[in-house]
Structure 1
Amino acid sequence: MWRGERKRADPDLGILTARLLFGIQRELFGVLADQGYGDLRPQHGAILAHLDEDGTRATDLAQRSGQHKQVIGKLVDELEALGYAERRPDPSDRRAKLVVPTDRGLAQMRDSDAILAAIEARHAETFGPDAYADFKRILCLLVEAR
């Protein structure tokens, strides 16, 4: 059997998790666009999904998201230009900068959380709350074990 056929018939964990991620991103960013955030791209999630309301250092965003610091810097530049985030001095270390969400960024983060909660609730309803809780628990274990 050709490799591509095998991967379609029996996808591995990487393929399955990528499909899940891309599906969630399509839905999330589609709904966000309908809500007035059409200037965002899924790549911005590397910042917005990991950004604390009171700000986060770029090095922490890189570590949390698994992205290189240079990628994070470029994405922060884009989010600053779009009005979702700004860089401010870190009060605990004036040499360091925090990436801080603007009011628009905070609103987007709240709206994104609500959309994702609805997606999760729909999946829990489809598969049953216990099965969905087991799925998330096992997925968390897989992520932690890497």
Structure 2
Amino acid sequence: MTREPDLAMLAGKLLFSLQQELFDTLAEQGHPDVRPRHGAVLAYLDPEGARATDLAQRSGQHKQIVGTIVDELEKLGYVRRAPDPADRRAKLVVPTEHGIDEITKARAILAAIENRHREEMGGEAYAAFKEAFHQLVRRQRGWRDAEGK
């Protein structure tokens, strides 16, 4: 008996397939050390930098996990820590030139993937899919509120 994949299975398959294409292509373009977990920082990092607490909030990861990822990316040469001009006690995570190159390439790769799917599905169908997907994400994020918890 073949079971139809549930929402979590479909979302996981989509995520893993997108990550595979993205990170294989990034490796071919000069970024072989970047891993999917690094996206919790790089995908949400502004060129002028961001505080680790802001990156944690944007990515939905715990601050400690973001701190560990920042440490890894710093060792790999993708980011550096710099004083926050707005608060001398705080540090900003700032992309290096190598980090900006990775961020720029990752965004271009993801845009190409989206364009390919848009062309294959048709613009209207793809727009409807993305809107429905956004709605599901918003509703899922509010599951505790919906349960009254």
Question: With structure 1 as the length reference, what TM-score do the two structures score?
Answer: 0.91
Residue type of the alignment partner of 2:30:
G
Aligned to 1:131: 125
- Alignment gaps of 5+ in structure 1: none
**1:130 offset after TM fit, Å?**
0.8
Alignment coverage as a number of residue pairs: 140
Cα distance between partner residues in 1 of 2:136 and 2:51:
27
Looking at structure 1, the residues matched to 45 and 97 of structure 2 have their Cα atoms a distance apart, in angstroms, of 13
Distance of 1:115 and 1:72 partners within structure 2: 24
Report the alpha carbon displacement of residue 44 of structure 1 after superposing the two structures with TM.
0.5
Aligned to 2:44: 50
**Structure 1 residue 123: deviation in Å?**
0.3
* 2:94 partner SS: strand
Alignment correspondent of 1:85? 79
- Off by >6 Å, runs of 4+ in structure 1: none
Residue 107 (structure 2) aligns with: 113
Measure the CA separation in 2 of the matches of 1:64 and 1:131.
28
Deviation at 1:143, TM superposition (A): 1.6
> Where do residues 1-146 of structure 1 align in structure 2 (5 Å cutoff)?
9-145=3-139, 146=141
* Identity value in percent: 60
CA RMSD of aligned residues (A): 1.1
Shift of 1:31: 0.2
Task: Name stretches of at least 5 consecutive residues in structure 2 with no aligned partner.
Answer: 142-149
Equivalent-residue separation in structure 2 for 1:88 and 1:35 (angstroms): 27
Hey, what's the Cα distance between the residues in 2 that align with 1:19 and 1:143?
Answer: 16
Task: Report the 3-state secondary structure (helix = DSSP H, G, I; strand = E; otherwise coil) of the residue aligned with 1:37.
Answer: coil
Normalised TM-score (structure 2): 0.90
1:86 counterpart SS class: strand
CA distance in 2, matches of 1:64, 1:17: 20
Secondary structure at 1:126 match in 2: helix
